Structure 1
Amino acid sequence: MHQTTSLLVRLLRIARLAAHVFRGVITIATLYPRLSQPEKAVITQRWSQQLLHILAIKVKVTGQAPGVYPPHTLVVANHVSWLDIFALNSVTVSRFVAKKELRDWPLAGFLIKSAGTLFIDRSKRRDTSQVNKQLAAALHNGDCMAVFPEATTSDGTGLLPFKSSLFEAARLAGATVQPVAIRYVSPGGHYCASAAYAGDTSFGQSLWAVLSTRAMVVELSFTAAMPAADASRFALSESSRSAIAAALDLPADA
Protein backbone atom coordinates (compact mmCIF):
# COMPACT_ATOMS: atom_id res chain seq x y z
CA MET A 1 0.00 0.00 0.00
CA HIS A 2 1.39 3.40 -0.94
CA GLN A 3 1.98 6.04 1.69
CA THR A 4 0.08 9.29 1.22
CA THR A 5 1.56 12.75 1.51
CA SER A 6 0.31 15.48 3.82
CA LEU A 7 -2.17 18.04 2.53
CA LEU A 8 0.49 20.75 2.69
CA VAL A 9 2.89 18.75 0.52
CA ARG A 10 0.11 18.09 -1.98
CA LEU A 11 -0.72 21.81 -2.18
CA LEU A 12 2.94 22.68 -2.68
CA ARG A 13 3.13 20.14 -5.50
CA ILE A 14 0.06 21.67 -7.11
CA ALA A 15 1.67 25.12 -6.99
CA ARG A 16 4.92 23.82 -8.52
CA LEU A 17 2.98 21.85 -11.11
CA ALA A 18 0.93 24.88 -12.14
CA ALA A 19 4.07 26.99 -12.52
CA HIS A 20 5.76 24.25 -14.56
CA VAL A 21 2.79 23.87 -16.91
CA PHE A 22 2.61 27.65 -17.33
CA ARG A 23 6.30 27.76 -18.31
CA GLY A 24 5.64 24.97 -20.79
CA VAL A 25 2.79 26.87 -22.40
CA ILE A 26 4.90 30.02 -22.71
CA THR A 27 7.82 28.07 -24.18
CA ILE A 28 5.64 26.38 -26.79
CA ALA A 29 3.86 29.60 -27.70
CA THR A 30 7.01 31.71 -28.09
CA LEU A 31 10.09 29.53 -28.60
CA TYR A 32 8.95 26.26 -30.21
CA PRO A 33 8.04 27.64 -33.65
CA ARG A 34 11.66 28.79 -34.20
CA LEU A 35 13.33 25.52 -33.19
CA SER A 36 14.43 22.49 -35.17
CA GLN A 37 12.97 19.10 -34.24
CA PRO A 38 16.16 17.98 -32.40
CA GLU A 39 16.08 21.20 -30.35
CA LYS A 40 12.39 20.68 -29.56
CA ALA A 41 13.17 17.11 -28.47
CA VAL A 42 15.77 18.27 -25.94
CA ILE A 43 13.36 20.81 -24.42
CA THR A 44 10.54 18.24 -24.33
CA GLN A 45 12.78 15.70 -22.63
CA ARG A 46 13.91 18.14 -19.94
CA TRP A 47 10.37 19.43 -19.35
CA SER A 48 9.08 15.87 -18.93
CA GLN A 49 11.91 14.99 -16.54
CA GLN A 50 11.13 18.05 -14.42
CA LEU A 51 7.41 17.23 -14.41
CA LEU A 52 8.07 13.73 -13.09
CA HIS A 53 10.41 15.16 -10.45
CA ILE A 54 7.68 17.52 -9.25
CA LEU A 55 5.31 14.56 -8.97
CA ALA A 56 7.93 12.53 -7.05
CA ILE A 57 8.13 9.91 -9.81
CA LYS A 58 11.48 8.26 -10.47
CA VAL A 59 12.20 6.68 -13.85
CA LYS A 60 13.94 3.31 -13.99
CA VAL A 61 15.11 2.14 -17.42
CA THR A 62 16.00 -1.41 -18.38
CA GLY A 63 17.14 -2.52 -21.80
CA GLN A 64 18.68 -0.26 -24.41
CA ALA A 65 16.84 3.00 -25.04
CA PRO A 66 17.26 4.10 -28.69
CA GLY A 67 18.25 7.70 -27.93
CA VAL A 68 16.62 11.09 -27.46
CA TYR A 69 14.83 11.25 -30.83
CA PRO A 70 15.73 8.17 -32.90
CA PRO A 71 14.82 8.62 -36.57
CA HIS A 72 12.44 6.35 -38.50
CA THR A 73 11.27 4.75 -35.23
CA LEU A 74 7.81 3.73 -34.05
CA VAL A 75 7.69 3.39 -30.26
CA VAL A 76 4.87 1.12 -29.07
CA ALA A 77 3.91 0.70 -25.42
CA ASN A 78 1.18 -0.55 -23.11
CA HIS A 79 -1.03 2.23 -21.79
CA VAL A 80 -1.68 2.79 -18.08
CA SER A 81 -1.88 6.52 -17.49
CA TRP A 82 -1.72 10.05 -18.87
CA LEU A 83 1.73 9.95 -17.26
CA ASP A 84 2.91 7.45 -19.89
CA ILE A 85 3.59 10.19 -22.45
CA PHE A 86 5.82 12.13 -20.09
CA ALA A 87 7.56 9.01 -18.77
CA LEU A 88 8.45 7.94 -22.31
CA ASN A 89 9.46 11.48 -23.30
CA SER A 90 11.79 11.72 -20.31
CA VAL A 91 13.94 9.07 -22.00
CA THR A 92 13.04 8.84 -25.69
CA VAL A 93 11.06 11.75 -27.14
CA SER A 94 8.36 10.95 -29.71
CA ARG A 95 5.45 12.53 -31.48
CA PHE A 96 2.36 10.64 -30.36
CA VAL A 97 -0.80 9.34 -31.95
CA ALA A 98 -3.59 10.01 -29.45
CA LYS A 99 -7.37 9.85 -29.27
CA LYS A 100 -9.05 13.02 -30.47
CA GLU A 101 -10.63 13.76 -27.06
CA LEU A 102 -7.22 14.81 -25.68
CA ARG A 103 -7.13 17.73 -28.09
CA ASP A 104 -9.89 19.44 -26.10
CA TRP A 105 -8.27 19.14 -22.66
CA PRO A 106 -7.55 22.55 -21.06
CA LEU A 107 -3.84 23.45 -21.33
CA ALA A 108 -2.79 19.80 -21.68
CA GLY A 109 -4.54 19.67 -25.05
CA PHE A 110 -2.62 22.73 -26.20
CA LEU A 111 0.68 21.24 -25.05
CA ILE A 112 0.01 17.88 -26.69
CA LYS A 113 -1.18 19.41 -29.96
CA SER A 114 1.77 21.81 -30.14
CA ALA A 115 4.17 18.89 -29.66
CA GLY A 116 3.07 17.51 -33.04
CA THR A 117 0.59 14.89 -31.88
CA LEU A 118 -1.59 13.20 -34.51
CA PHE A 119 -5.17 12.82 -33.30
CA ILE A 120 -7.34 9.89 -34.28
CA ASP A 121 -11.03 9.06 -34.05
CA ARG A 122 -10.97 5.27 -33.86
CA SER A 123 -14.71 5.06 -34.41
CA LYS A 124 -14.17 6.18 -38.00
CA ARG A 125 -12.27 3.78 -40.26
CA ARG A 126 -11.56 6.58 -42.75
CA ASP A 127 -9.94 8.62 -39.98
CA THR A 128 -7.66 5.70 -39.07
CA SER A 129 -6.61 5.38 -42.71
CA GLN A 130 -5.83 9.09 -42.94
CA VAL A 131 -3.78 9.07 -39.74
CA ASN A 132 -1.92 6.00 -41.00
CA LYS A 133 -0.85 7.93 -44.09
CA GLN A 134 0.35 10.85 -41.95
CA LEU A 135 2.13 8.47 -39.59
CA ALA A 136 3.89 6.66 -42.45
CA ALA A 137 4.97 9.98 -43.96
CA ALA A 138 6.35 11.19 -40.62
CA LEU A 139 8.31 7.96 -40.10
CA HIS A 140 9.62 8.09 -43.66
CA ASN A 141 10.79 11.67 -43.11
CA GLY A 142 12.81 10.66 -40.05
CA ASP A 143 10.49 11.36 -37.14
CA CYS A 144 10.19 9.26 -34.01
CA MET A 145 6.51 8.46 -33.47
CA ALA A 146 4.71 6.62 -30.67
CA VAL A 147 1.44 4.73 -30.34
CA PHE A 148 -0.44 2.85 -27.63
CA PRO A 149 -1.81 -0.18 -29.52
CA GLU A 150 -4.26 -1.11 -26.75
CA ALA A 151 -6.17 2.04 -27.83
CA THR A 152 -7.20 2.68 -24.21
CA THR A 153 -5.75 2.50 -20.72
CA SER A 154 -5.74 -0.45 -18.32
CA ASP A 155 -5.03 -0.60 -14.59
CA GLY A 156 -1.53 -1.90 -15.33
CA THR A 157 -2.05 -5.42 -13.99
CA GLY A 158 -2.77 -6.92 -17.41
CA LEU A 159 -2.40 -6.31 -21.11
CA LEU A 160 -5.28 -5.63 -23.48
CA PRO A 161 -5.35 -6.87 -27.09
CA PHE A 162 -3.31 -4.76 -29.51
CA LYS A 163 -4.89 -2.99 -32.50
CA SER A 164 -2.72 -3.79 -35.51
CA SER A 165 -3.86 -0.99 -37.84
CA LEU A 166 -1.20 1.62 -37.05
CA PHE A 167 1.61 -0.92 -37.43
CA GLU A 168 0.92 -0.72 -41.17
CA ALA A 169 2.52 2.73 -41.20
CA ALA A 170 5.78 1.32 -39.85
CA ARG A 171 5.76 -1.38 -42.52
CA LEU A 172 5.08 1.10 -45.33
CA ALA A 173 7.82 3.44 -44.12
CA GLY A 174 10.37 0.67 -43.51
CA ALA A 175 10.70 1.94 -39.96
CA THR A 176 12.00 0.31 -36.80
CA VAL A 177 9.45 -0.79 -34.19
CA GLN A 178 10.60 -0.27 -30.59
CA PRO A 179 8.40 -1.98 -27.96
CA VAL A 180 8.45 -0.53 -24.43
CA ALA A 181 6.80 -2.00 -21.34
CA ILE A 182 5.50 0.51 -18.77
CA ARG A 183 4.89 -0.39 -15.14
CA TYR A 184 4.26 1.82 -12.07
CA VAL A 185 5.50 0.55 -8.73
CA SER A 186 6.26 1.78 -5.24
CA PRO A 187 9.88 2.51 -4.26
CA GLY A 188 9.86 -0.98 -2.76
CA GLY A 189 8.90 -2.54 -6.09
CA HIS A 190 5.23 -3.32 -5.37
CA TYR A 191 2.38 -2.57 -7.75
CA CYS A 192 1.18 1.05 -7.44
CA ALA A 193 -2.40 1.76 -8.48
CA SER A 194 -2.11 5.54 -8.07
CA ALA A 195 -0.95 6.12 -11.63
CA ALA A 196 -3.73 4.13 -13.31
CA TYR A 197 -6.12 6.25 -15.34
CA ALA A 198 -8.76 3.72 -16.33
CA GLY A 199 -12.47 3.04 -16.04
CA ASP A 200 -14.61 5.90 -14.75
CA THR A 201 -11.73 7.75 -13.10
CA SER A 202 -11.71 11.44 -14.03
CA PHE A 203 -8.52 13.31 -14.80
CA GLY A 204 -8.92 15.34 -11.61
CA GLN A 205 -9.27 12.18 -9.52
CA SER A 206 -6.26 10.66 -11.23
CA LEU A 207 -4.12 13.75 -10.69
CA TRP A 208 -5.10 13.93 -7.01
CA ALA A 209 -4.19 10.26 -6.55
CA VAL A 210 -0.74 10.93 -8.04
CA LEU A 211 -0.25 14.05 -5.91
CA SER A 212 -1.31 12.09 -2.83
CA THR A 213 1.36 9.41 -3.29
CA ARG A 214 4.61 10.07 -1.48
CA ALA A 215 6.81 8.48 -4.14
CA MET A 216 6.47 6.31 -7.20
CA VAL A 217 8.70 4.57 -9.74
CA VAL A 218 7.86 4.15 -13.41
CA GLU A 219 9.73 1.25 -14.95
CA LEU A 220 10.41 1.53 -18.69
CA SER A 221 11.62 -1.75 -20.20
CA PHE A 222 12.97 -1.32 -23.73
CA THR A 223 12.88 -4.67 -25.52
CA ALA A 224 14.66 -5.62 -28.73
CA ALA A 225 13.81 -3.35 -31.66
CA MET A 226 12.28 -4.93 -34.77
CA PRO A 227 12.64 -3.98 -38.46
CA ALA A 228 9.19 -3.51 -39.93
CA ALA A 229 9.79 -3.68 -43.68
CA ASP A 230 9.52 -7.46 -44.13
CA ALA A 231 6.72 -8.21 -41.66
CA SER A 232 2.96 -7.87 -41.78
CA ARG A 233 1.19 -5.45 -39.46
CA PHE A 234 -0.36 -8.42 -37.68
CA ALA A 235 3.03 -10.02 -37.06
CA LEU A 236 4.47 -6.72 -35.83
CA SER A 237 1.51 -6.27 -33.48
CA GLU A 238 1.75 -9.77 -32.02
CA SER A 239 5.54 -9.65 -31.67
CA SER A 240 5.35 -6.30 -29.91
CA ARG A 241 2.64 -7.49 -27.55
CA SER A 242 4.54 -10.67 -26.72
CA ALA A 243 7.71 -8.69 -25.99
CA ILE A 244 5.87 -6.25 -23.72
CA ALA A 245 4.01 -9.07 -21.95
CA ALA A 246 7.31 -10.84 -21.26
CA ALA A 247 8.87 -7.64 -19.90
CA LEU A 248 5.88 -7.24 -17.56
CA ASP A 249 6.11 -10.89 -16.46
CA LEU A 250 2.71 -11.60 -17.95
CA PRO A 251 1.72 -14.64 -19.99
CA ALA A 252 1.63 -14.00 -23.75
CA ASP A 253 -2.16 -14.53 -23.75
CA ALA A 254 -2.73 -12.15 -20.80
Structure 2
Amino acid sequence: MPGRPTTSFPTRLGRSARLLSHLFLGLYVLAFRYPRLSHAARAAINQRWSAQLIRILGMKVRVLGKAPGLLAHNTLLVANHVSWLDIFALNSVTVSHFVAKRELRRWPVIGWMIKNAGTVFIDRTSRRDASRVNEQLAHSLSQGSCMAVFPEGTTTDGTDLLPFKASLFESARMAGSHVQPVALRYLDEHGRLTTLPAYIDKISLVRSLGRILSMPSGTVELVFGQTLQAHAEEECSRFQLAEAARAEVASGLGLTPPAPAQPRKPTRTPDDLPA
Protein backbone atom coordinates (compact mmCIF):
# COMPACT_ATOMS: atom_id res chain seq x y z
CA MET A 1 0.00 0.00 0.00
CA PRO A 2 1.13 3.58 -0.61
CA GLY A 3 3.68 5.36 1.52
CA ARG A 4 4.78 8.97 1.43
CA PRO A 5 5.31 10.76 -1.90
CA THR A 6 8.81 10.13 -3.21
CA THR A 7 9.04 12.15 -6.43
CA SER A 8 11.06 15.34 -6.28
CA PHE A 9 9.55 18.79 -6.65
CA PRO A 10 11.19 19.35 -10.08
CA THR A 11 9.69 16.05 -11.28
CA ARG A 12 6.21 17.03 -10.15
CA LEU A 13 6.64 20.50 -11.63
CA GLY A 14 7.77 19.09 -14.97
CA ARG A 15 4.84 16.66 -15.11
CA SER A 16 2.43 19.45 -14.22
CA ALA A 17 3.77 21.69 -17.00
CA ARG A 18 3.48 18.90 -19.59
CA LEU A 19 -0.02 18.08 -18.34
CA LEU A 20 -1.15 21.69 -18.68
CA SER A 21 0.21 21.84 -22.23
CA HIS A 22 -1.53 18.55 -23.04
CA LEU A 23 -4.86 19.85 -21.72
CA PHE A 24 -4.60 22.97 -23.89
CA LEU A 25 -3.88 20.76 -26.90
CA GLY A 26 -6.99 18.72 -26.10
CA LEU A 27 -9.10 21.87 -25.78
CA TYR A 28 -7.87 23.12 -29.16
CA VAL A 29 -8.58 19.82 -30.91
CA LEU A 30 -12.06 19.52 -29.39
CA ALA A 31 -12.97 23.09 -30.25
CA PHE A 32 -11.61 23.36 -33.79
CA ARG A 33 -10.85 19.92 -35.28
CA TYR A 34 -13.04 17.34 -33.59
CA PRO A 35 -16.42 18.40 -35.05
CA ARG A 36 -15.16 17.97 -38.64
CA LEU A 37 -13.59 14.53 -38.20
CA SER A 38 -15.01 11.10 -38.99
CA HIS A 39 -15.86 8.67 -36.20
CA ALA A 40 -12.70 6.64 -36.86
CA ALA A 41 -10.48 9.75 -36.87
CA ARG A 42 -12.02 10.94 -33.60
CA ALA A 43 -11.36 7.56 -32.03
CA ALA A 44 -7.72 7.60 -33.14
CA ILE A 45 -7.17 11.07 -31.69
CA ASN A 46 -8.94 10.11 -28.46
CA GLN A 47 -6.78 7.01 -28.11
CA ARG A 48 -3.51 8.87 -28.71
CA TRP A 49 -4.43 11.77 -26.41
CA SER A 50 -5.49 9.43 -23.60
CA ALA A 51 -2.35 7.29 -23.91
CA GLN A 52 -0.16 10.38 -23.82
CA LEU A 53 -1.97 11.67 -20.72
CA ILE A 54 -1.24 8.41 -18.91
CA ARG A 55 2.45 8.65 -19.89
CA ILE A 56 2.74 12.27 -18.76
CA LEU A 57 1.53 11.24 -15.31
CA GLY A 58 4.35 8.70 -15.11
CA MET A 59 2.14 5.66 -15.63
CA LYS A 60 1.69 2.93 -18.20
CA VAL A 61 -1.20 0.68 -19.20
CA ARG A 62 -0.93 -3.10 -19.13
CA VAL A 63 -3.61 -5.15 -20.91
CA LEU A 64 -4.47 -8.67 -19.79
CA GLY A 65 -7.04 -10.78 -21.62
CA LYS A 66 -8.47 -10.04 -25.05
CA ALA A 67 -9.39 -6.40 -25.63
CA PRO A 68 -12.15 -5.76 -28.22
CA GLY A 69 -9.97 -3.37 -30.25
CA LEU A 70 -9.93 0.38 -30.76
CA LEU A 71 -13.43 0.51 -32.27
CA ALA A 72 -15.72 -2.06 -30.63
CA HIS A 73 -18.99 -2.36 -32.55
CA ASN A 74 -22.24 -2.38 -30.52
CA THR A 75 -20.40 -3.00 -27.24
CA LEU A 76 -21.21 -1.99 -23.67
CA LEU A 77 -17.98 -1.76 -21.69
CA VAL A 78 -18.54 -2.27 -17.93
CA ALA A 79 -15.78 -1.74 -15.36
CA ASN A 80 -15.13 -1.16 -11.69
CA HIS A 81 -14.49 2.48 -10.83
CA VAL A 82 -11.43 3.70 -8.92
CA SER A 83 -10.30 7.04 -10.33
CA TRP A 84 -11.03 9.76 -12.85
CA LEU A 85 -8.05 8.22 -14.66
CA ASP A 86 -10.16 5.14 -15.45
CA ILE A 87 -11.74 6.86 -18.45
CA PHE A 88 -8.40 7.70 -20.04
CA ALA A 89 -6.86 4.31 -19.29
CA LEU A 90 -9.78 2.55 -20.98
CA ASN A 91 -9.78 4.97 -23.92
CA SER A 92 -6.08 4.33 -24.48
CA VAL A 93 -7.07 0.78 -25.48
CA THR A 94 -10.76 0.78 -26.52
CA VAL A 95 -12.40 4.13 -27.24
CA SER A 96 -15.87 4.53 -25.77
CA HIS A 97 -18.43 7.16 -24.90
CA PHE A 98 -18.93 7.10 -21.15
CA VAL A 99 -21.88 7.50 -18.82
CA ALA A 100 -20.91 9.78 -15.94
CA LYS A 101 -22.74 11.45 -13.07
CA ARG A 102 -24.03 14.87 -14.00
CA GLU A 103 -21.82 16.60 -11.39
CA LEU A 104 -18.77 16.00 -13.61
CA ARG A 105 -20.20 18.33 -16.23
CA ARG A 106 -19.50 21.24 -13.84
CA TRP A 107 -15.79 20.42 -13.44
CA PRO A 108 -13.60 23.20 -14.85
CA VAL A 109 -11.95 22.35 -18.19
CA ILE A 110 -12.30 18.56 -17.82
CA GLY A 111 -16.11 18.82 -17.60
CA TRP A 112 -16.23 20.72 -20.88
CA MET A 113 -13.80 18.30 -22.50
CA ILE A 114 -15.64 15.09 -21.59
CA LYS A 115 -18.97 16.65 -22.55
CA ASN A 116 -17.70 17.52 -26.02
CA ALA A 117 -16.06 14.11 -26.34
CA GLY A 118 -19.52 12.52 -26.21
CA THR A 119 -20.03 11.68 -22.52
CA VAL A 120 -23.63 10.96 -21.48
CA PHE A 121 -24.52 12.46 -18.11
CA ILE A 122 -26.96 10.86 -15.69
CA ASP A 123 -28.75 11.98 -12.54
CA ARG A 124 -28.19 8.95 -10.32
CA THR A 125 -30.88 10.10 -7.90
CA SER A 126 -33.63 9.84 -10.53
CA ARG A 127 -35.09 6.56 -11.81
CA ARG A 128 -36.74 8.47 -14.64
CA ASP A 129 -33.36 9.75 -15.79
CA ALA A 130 -32.03 6.18 -15.91
CA SER A 131 -34.81 5.34 -18.36
CA ARG A 132 -33.84 8.31 -20.55
CA VAL A 133 -30.17 7.31 -20.52
CA ASN A 134 -31.04 3.69 -21.34
CA GLU A 135 -32.86 4.81 -24.46
CA GLN A 136 -29.95 7.04 -25.46
CA LEU A 137 -27.44 4.26 -24.85
CA ALA A 138 -29.50 1.68 -26.73
CA HIS A 139 -29.77 4.01 -29.73
CA SER A 140 -26.01 4.65 -29.79
CA LEU A 141 -25.22 0.95 -29.35
CA SER A 142 -27.58 -0.09 -32.14
CA GLN A 143 -25.82 2.43 -34.40
CA GLY A 144 -22.56 0.60 -33.75
CA SER A 145 -21.03 2.70 -30.98
CA CYS A 146 -19.07 1.50 -27.98
CA MET A 147 -20.49 2.86 -24.71
CA ALA A 148 -19.03 2.48 -21.22
CA VAL A 149 -20.54 2.47 -17.73
CA PHE A 150 -19.28 2.08 -14.18
CA PRO A 151 -22.13 0.05 -12.67
CA GLU A 152 -20.94 0.35 -9.06
CA GLY A 153 -22.31 3.90 -9.27
CA THR A 154 -19.37 5.36 -7.31
CA THR A 155 -15.62 5.02 -6.86
CA THR A 156 -13.81 2.68 -4.46
CA ASP A 157 -10.17 2.35 -3.39
CA GLY A 158 -9.80 -0.60 -5.77
CA THR A 159 -9.44 -3.28 -3.07
CA ASP A 160 -13.10 -4.31 -3.16
CA LEU A 161 -16.00 -4.51 -5.61
CA LEU A 162 -19.42 -3.07 -4.85
CA PRO A 163 -22.67 -4.60 -6.15
CA PHE A 164 -23.45 -3.63 -9.75
CA LYS A 165 -26.52 -1.50 -10.37
CA ALA A 166 -28.47 -3.29 -13.09
CA SER A 167 -30.49 -0.42 -14.56
CA LEU A 168 -28.17 0.55 -17.44
CA PHE A 169 -27.67 -3.07 -18.51
CA GLU A 170 -31.15 -2.81 -20.00
CA SER A 171 -29.68 -0.74 -22.83
CA ALA A 172 -27.53 -3.72 -23.88
CA ARG A 173 -30.60 -5.99 -23.92
CA MET A 174 -32.52 -3.45 -25.98
CA ALA A 175 -29.73 -3.20 -28.56
CA GLY A 176 -28.62 -6.87 -28.51
CA SER A 177 -25.12 -5.74 -27.57
CA HIS A 178 -21.89 -7.39 -26.57
CA VAL A 179 -21.15 -6.71 -22.90
CA GLN A 180 -17.42 -6.47 -22.20
CA PRO A 181 -16.40 -6.64 -18.52
CA VAL A 182 -13.10 -4.97 -17.58
CA ALA A 183 -11.30 -4.99 -14.22
CA LEU A 184 -9.09 -1.99 -13.36
CA ARG A 185 -6.19 -2.24 -10.93
CA TYR A 186 -3.62 0.42 -10.03
CA LEU A 187 -0.11 -0.77 -9.15
CA ASP A 188 2.84 1.18 -7.78
CA GLU A 189 6.42 1.16 -9.10
CA HIS A 190 7.03 -2.16 -7.32
CA GLY A 191 3.98 -3.83 -8.86
CA ARG A 192 1.97 -3.70 -5.65
CA LEU A 193 -1.66 -2.66 -5.44
CA THR A 194 -1.90 1.04 -4.55
CA THR A 195 -4.81 3.23 -3.47
CA LEU A 196 -3.08 6.54 -4.28
CA PRO A 197 -4.99 7.12 -7.56
CA ALA A 198 -8.37 6.38 -5.92
CA TYR A 199 -10.82 9.29 -6.16
CA ILE A 200 -12.64 8.71 -2.86
CA ASP A 201 -13.53 10.32 0.48
CA LYS A 202 -14.63 13.59 -1.15
CA ILE A 203 -11.05 14.36 -2.14
CA SER A 204 -10.72 17.36 -4.46
CA LEU A 205 -9.58 16.92 -8.05
CA VAL A 206 -6.48 19.06 -7.38
CA ARG A 207 -5.48 16.96 -4.37
CA SER A 208 -6.14 13.75 -6.30
CA LEU A 209 -3.92 14.97 -9.12
CA GLY A 210 -1.21 15.88 -6.62
CA ARG A 211 -1.25 12.36 -5.20
CA ILE A 212 -0.89 10.84 -8.65
CA LEU A 213 1.94 13.23 -9.57
CA SER A 214 3.72 12.18 -6.37
CA MET A 215 4.02 8.56 -7.56
CA PRO A 216 7.46 7.74 -9.03
CA SER A 217 5.71 5.53 -11.58
CA GLY A 218 2.75 3.23 -11.79
CA THR A 219 0.74 0.83 -13.89
CA VAL A 220 -2.94 0.66 -14.73
CA GLU A 221 -3.88 -2.96 -15.33
CA LEU A 222 -6.87 -3.57 -17.57
CA VAL A 223 -8.07 -7.15 -17.26
CA PHE A 224 -10.59 -7.94 -20.01
CA GLY A 225 -12.96 -10.75 -19.04
CA GLN A 226 -15.07 -12.99 -21.24
CA THR A 227 -17.53 -11.12 -23.45
CA LEU A 228 -21.23 -11.66 -22.72
CA GLN A 229 -24.04 -11.38 -25.25
CA ALA A 230 -27.28 -9.63 -24.34
CA HIS A 231 -30.59 -10.43 -26.04
CA ALA A 232 -33.89 -8.77 -25.16
CA GLU A 233 -35.87 -11.84 -26.15
CA GLU A 234 -33.97 -14.24 -23.87
CA GLU A 235 -34.97 -15.10 -20.32
CA CYS A 236 -31.81 -13.56 -18.91
CA SER A 237 -32.76 -10.33 -17.15
CA ARG A 238 -30.66 -7.20 -16.73
CA PHE A 239 -30.07 -8.31 -13.12
CA GLN A 240 -28.56 -11.61 -14.24
CA LEU A 241 -26.51 -9.81 -16.87
CA ALA A 242 -25.18 -7.42 -14.20
CA GLU A 243 -24.29 -10.35 -11.91
CA ALA A 244 -22.50 -12.18 -14.72
CA ALA A 245 -20.50 -9.05 -15.61
CA ARG A 246 -19.66 -8.47 -11.95
CA ALA A 247 -18.38 -12.03 -11.61
CA GLU A 248 -16.03 -11.45 -14.56
CA VAL A 249 -14.73 -8.17 -13.08
CA ALA A 250 -14.31 -9.77 -9.64
CA SER A 251 -12.30 -12.58 -11.22
CA GLY A 252 -10.04 -10.02 -12.91
CA LEU A 253 -9.46 -8.35 -9.54
CA GLY A 254 -8.77 -11.67 -7.84
CA LEU A 255 -11.94 -11.38 -5.75
CA THR A 256 -14.81 -13.78 -5.20
CA PRO A 257 -18.22 -12.06 -5.30
CA PRO A 258 -21.21 -13.55 -3.45
CA ALA A 259 -23.18 -15.99 -5.59
CA PRO A 260 -26.14 -14.31 -7.37
CA ALA A 261 -29.67 -15.35 -6.49
CA GLN A 262 -30.24 -16.45 -10.09
CA PRO A 263 -26.88 -17.75 -11.29
CA ARG A 264 -27.64 -18.56 -14.94
CA LYS A 265 -25.19 -16.69 -17.15
CA PRO A 266 -26.12 -15.08 -20.44
CA THR A 267 -25.05 -16.60 -23.72
CA ARG A 268 -21.38 -16.21 -24.61
CA THR A 269 -20.40 -14.71 -27.90
CA PRO A 270 -19.18 -17.20 -30.55
CA ASP A 271 -15.54 -16.12 -30.05
CA ASP A 272 -15.73 -17.12 -26.39
CA LEU A 273 -17.26 -20.56 -26.88
CA PRO A 274 -14.89 -23.55 -26.61
CA ALA A 275 -13.85 -25.23 -29.84
User: Which of the five TM-score ranges fits, normalised by the shorter chain?
Assistant: over 0.9
Look up the match of 1:13.
15
Q: What CA distance in whole angstroms lies between the structure 1 residues aligned with 2:65 and 2:141?
A: 23
Q: 1:200 aligns with which of 199, 202, 224?
A: 202
Query: Residues 233-248 of structure 1 correspond to what in structure 2 (within 5 A)?
Result: 233-248=238-253
Query: Residues 167-246 of structure 1 correspond to what in structure 2 (within 5 A)?
Result: 167-229=169-231, 230=234, 231-246=236-251
Query: Residues 135-146 of structure 1 correspond to what in structure 2 (within 5 A)?
Result: 135-146=137-148
Root mean square deviation, CA, Å: 1.1
Matched, 1:251 2:256: yes
Look up the match of 2:266.
none
Q: 1:54 aligns with which of 53, 56, 70?
A: 56
Q: 1:41 aligns with which of 40, 43, 49?
A: 43
Return the offset for 1:183. Answer: 0.3
State the one-letter code of the partner of 1:191: L
Q: What CA distance in whole angstroms lies between the structure 2 residues aligned with 1:158 and 1:205?
A: 23
CA deviations over 1:157-210 (Å, ceiling 9, x no partner):
000111000000000000000000000011322111111001121111110000
State the one-letter code of the partner of 2:15: R
Q: 1:27 aligns with which of 26, 29, 38?
A: 29
The structure with the largest alpha-carbon Rg is 2
Structure 2 unaligned segments of length 5 or more: list them: 260-275
Look up the match of 2:81.
79
Q: 2:65 aligns with which of 52, 60, 63?
A: 63
Moved more, 2-11 or 49-58: 2-11
Q: What CA distance in whole angstroms lies between the structure 1 residues aligned with 2:116 and 2:142?
A: 21
Look up the match of 1:154.
156
Count residues with an aligned counterpart: 254
State the one-letter code of the partner of 1:134: Q
SS in 1 for 2:100: strand
Moved more, 3-12 or 36-45: 3-12
SS in 1 for 2:41: helix
Q: 1:125 aligns with which of 127, 152, 170?
A: 127
Look up the match of 2:263.
none
Return the offset for 1:98. Answer: 0.4
Return the offset for 1:126. Answer: 1.0
SS in 2 for 1:31: helix
Structure 1 outlier segments of 4+, above 6 Å: none
Return the offset for 1:232. Answer: 1.4
Q: What CA distance in whole angstroms lies between the structure 2 residues aligned with 1:222 and 1:246?
A: 10
CA deviations over 1:28-58 (Å, ceiling 9, x no partner):
0000000111110000000000000000111
Query: Percent identity over the alignment?
Result: 56
Moved more, 224-233 or 49-58: 224-233
